[in-house]
Chain A
């Protein structure tokens, strides 16, 4: 089992590195360096002017150092097929999970170390903590993360499951209190060690592994990671879960009289497939955000046009979404004019996108005649994209 865990860890590391390389590409690194530099500069400047020894400084340090506890869930790397093939291995699961817990500690440890380093001047100079006590507190944070992972591990077995939200809240309160007095930090350390030993004993007595829960949890964790990656790059392992979203049904035509199979499918895919709807929502929100940031009708118009264009462009792959479905191939559905059907299905959401951006402009930007003109130009652009650009692309891609 230990060997299996190690093999899986290697595969997982290789896959994560692949995506990390894609996410942290040259431009992103450059942007991060600038951002980090700006933040550090601001930090250094404000350290000079900041008054000393306010009462909330220490709890603030505790809260900031508590944040890394929210990252790095327990990585179990369990797969759905394990329900079948590892089912008789309940008693060996402790062995299997040991290297995985170590692995799960890596990211939080790095984050805690980084954050602790950044906060060190503030904690010692402004909040008045002795360096030794601060170090002890950081160790306590690290132990708290370990305890939290141990609790997650015990949740994987049948028996009472301990809510992680509750654990994190309790830790937040306890940490914020303990930082006030050195004695309390010591007590906290002892308590955490006792907690870890107690968890260890509890885990020794646990035998019946909750396979279904464990596999579902890992699936959830993986999807969170993939969602994070997919904001920057395509993640082929990401599983799409369709949501019913009944409240959006009003956007569908009531009668079937003017519908055809392709239009029928595209409209529903747009509303219920999170890939498509999230894209639409994300892009629209992005347009609103940058419009608000630039505070100028011309810039807002140009950037929003770009966003509208990118939205339509990225929604184009919807066209062959159903080609893998045998029932789609077997049914008498012609694929000849489906490019046209896609355009019909897309025109309503694109119009909606224009409407939302325009309303946000009226609320967020300085009102003047040019703004109204910009709104008019934006709808013209949107229509051009849908009626000219999309047909051109569809013809080229032979959809």
Chain B
């Protein structure tokens, strides 16, 4: 009886666990960069966002993070609407930016502590997880350093460690592979895979499909501010009439032609 109740409870709980972006239109002051975007990511799902420079990938992400105010549409994660409960929404999102952004005043250890405070993590369990992540990215001997003085790749690793430490239900990753050494790329892909296996949601933009493919099977193509197709890479090929013998890079030529005719 109890287990029945429990399963019902769990069903209800997970039934609403989803990221839903509906009819999102937005951009910077006035001019819409993205138009009527609709996206849905369920637990255990990962979606890659691909497109040319200026297609609207970063703008979409900025809206999702609450850095821009939508002109139209809603963004809801696990029943929490971004514009209505921003702090509760943000509590469920971790972000790895394209270029590392650090607090110049904080040491590496303090970046982790701030993450624990902001995301209200239990200090002890968080530290034991942090140590694993630091070891994975070979940062465990630099806890007392100021990461602003790190190299670009190492800074990026700090961003990855803090994002995965936050242990949120949605991970937003913006072009993560540039500047990382091959070892770190492999570790990051493993972490993304594990997150998906643990029923997290992942949204990632990238141009490096060869790496992304190892963790992500579903992609959305963004062009001229709208989503043209969502599906596996094969489905995307078919949508744009590419032959299976064509290199996937040909997609970008097609997108470019579309842009020029738009």
Which parts of B27-68 form the interface with A (CB within 8 Å)? Answer: 65-67
Known: A244-B146, A329-B67, A332-B119. A264 touches B104 (CB 8 A): no
Q: What residues of chain A lie closer than 8 Å to B148, measured between beta carbons?
A: 242
User: B251 interface residue, CB < 8 Å from A?
Assistant: no
Known: A242-B148, A256-B123, A264-B117. A330 touches B106 (CB 8 A): no
Q: Across the interface, do A332 and B91 meet the contact criterion of CB distance under 8 Å?
A: yes
Q: Which of A194-202, A319-327, A365-373 contacts B (4 or more CB under 8 A)?
A: A319-327
**CA–CA, A259 to B148, complex, Å?**
23
Q: Across the interface, do A261 and B144 meet the contact criterion of CB distance under 8 Å?
A: no
Q: What residues of chain B lie closer than 8 Å to A322, measured between beta carbons?
A: 103
Q: Mark B88-119, 1 if CB is under 8 A from A, else 0.
A: 10110101010001111111001001111111
Q: Across the interface, do A333 and B106 meet the contact criterion of CB distance under 8 Å?
A: no
Q: Number of contacting residues on A, CB 8 A?
A: 25
Q: Across the interface, do A242 and B113 meet the contact criterion of CB distance under 8 Å?
A: no
**CA–CA, A11 to B254, complex, Å?**
47
User: A104 interface residue, CB < 8 Å from B?
Assistant: no
Q: Across the interface, do A259 and B67 meet the contact criterion of CB distance under 8 Å?
A: no
User: A268 interface residue, CB < 8 Å from B?
Assistant: yes
Q: Across the interface, do B117 and A256 meet the contact criterion of CB distance under 8 Å?
A: yes
Q: Across the interface, do B87 and A334 meet the contact criterion of CB distance under 8 Å?
A: yes
Q: Across the interface, do B106 and A268 meet the contact criterion of CB distance under 8 Å?
A: yes
Q: What residues of chain A lie closer than 8 Å to B87, measured between beta carbons?
A: 332-334
**CA–CA, A348 to B113, complex, Å?**
21
Q: What's the minimum C-beta distance from A80 to chain B, rounded to whole angstroms? A: 16
**CA–CA, A261 to B119, complex, Å?**
9
**CA–CA, A264 to B103, complex, Å?**
12
Give the nearest-CB partner of A267 in chain B: B105
Q: Mark A298-334, 1 if CB is under 8 A from B, else 0.
A: 0000000000000000000000001001111111111
**CA–CA, A182 to B66, complex, Å?**
77
Known: A268-B106, A322-B103. A256 touches B90 (CB 8 A): no
CB-contact partner of B105 in A261, A268, A330, A333, under 8 A? A268
Most chain B beta carbons < 10 A, residue from A261, A329, A332:
A332
Q: What's the minimum C-beta distance from A285 to chain B, rounded to whole angstroms? A: 23
**CA–CA, A244 to B106, complex, Å?**
8
Q: Across the interface, do A327 and B117 meet the contact criterion of CB distance under 8 Å?
A: no
Give the nearest-CB partner of A328 in chain B: B103
Q: What residues of chain B lie closer than 8 Å to A333, measured between beta carbons?
A: 87, 118
Q: What residues of chain A lie closer than 8 Å to B66, measured between beta carbons?
A: 329-330
Q: What's the minimum C-beta distance from B60 to chain A, rounded to whole angstroms? A: 15
Q: What's the minimum C-beta distance from B4 to chain A, rounded to whole angstroms? A: 35
Known: A264-B113, A331-B90. A244 touches B65 (CB 8 A): no
**CA–CA, A272 to B117, complex, Å?**
20
User: A109 interface residue, CB < 8 Å from B?
Assistant: no
Q: What's the minimum C-beta distance from B37 to chain A, rounded to whole angstroms? A: 19
Q: Across the interface, do B114 and A261 meet the contact criterion of CB distance under 8 Å?
A: yes
User: A246 interface residue, CB < 8 Å from B?
Assistant: yes
Q: Across the interface, do B114 and A330 meet the contact criterion of CB distance under 8 Å?
A: no
Most chain A beta carbons < 10 A, residue from B91, B101, B116, B119:
B101
Give the nearest-CB partner of A336 in chain B: B87
Q: Across the interface, do B67 and A330 meet the contact criterion of CB distance under 8 Å?
A: yes
Q: What residues of chain A lie closer than 8 Å to B102, measured between beta carbons?
A: 327
**CA–CA, A240 to B103, complex, Å?**
13
**CA–CA, A331 to B97, complex, Å?**
12
Give the nearest-CB partner of A321 in chain B: B105
Give the nearest-CB partner of B102 in chain A: A327
User: A269 interface residue, CB < 8 Å from B?
Assistant: yes
Known: A264-B114, A332-B87, A334-B87. A327 touches B103 (CB 8 A): yes
Q: What's the minimum C-beta distance from B160 to chain A, rounded to whole angstroms? A: 13
**CA–CA, A242 to B103, complex, Å?**
10
Q: Mark A42-81, 1 if CB is under 8 A from B, else 0.
A: 0000000000000000000000000000000000000000
**CA–CA, A29 to B101, complex, Å?**
44
CB-contact partner of A268 in B65, B95, B110, B123, under 8 A? B110
Give the nearest-CB partner of A268 in chain B: B105
User: A273 interface residue, CB < 8 Å from B?
Assistant: yes
CB-contact partner of B116 in A256, A325, A328, under 8 A? A256
Q: Across the interface, do B105 and A269 meet the contact criterion of CB distance under 8 Å?
A: yes
User: A260 interface residue, CB < 8 Å from B?
Assistant: yes
Most chain A beta carbons < 10 A, residue from B93, B104, B115:
B104
Q: What residues of chain A lie closer than 8 Å to B91, measured between beta carbons?
A: 332
Known: A268-B110, A326-B97. A242 touches B104 (CB 8 A): yes
User: A143 interface residue, CB < 8 Å from B?
Assistant: no
Q: What's the minimum C-beta distance from B92 to chain A, rounded to whole angstroms? A: 8
**CA–CA, A264 to B112, complex, Å?**
12
Q: What residues of chain A lie closer than 8 Å to B88, measured between beta carbons?
A: 332
| The 4 residue pairs across chains A and B that have the minimum distance between CB atoms | A332-B90, A332-B91, A242-B104, A331-B118
B interface with A by C-beta (< 8 Å): 65-67, 87-88, 90-91, 93, 95, 97, 101-107, 110, 113-119, 123, 144, 146, 148
Query: Can you list 11 A-B pairs, Cβ within 8 angstroms, ordered by A?
Result: A242-B104, A242-B148, A256-B117, A269-B105, A325-B101, A326-B67, A327-B95, A327-B97, A327-B103, A330-B93, A330-B95
A interface with B by C-beta (< 8 Å): 240, 242, 244, 246, 256, 259-261, 264-265, 268-269, 272-273, 322, 325-334
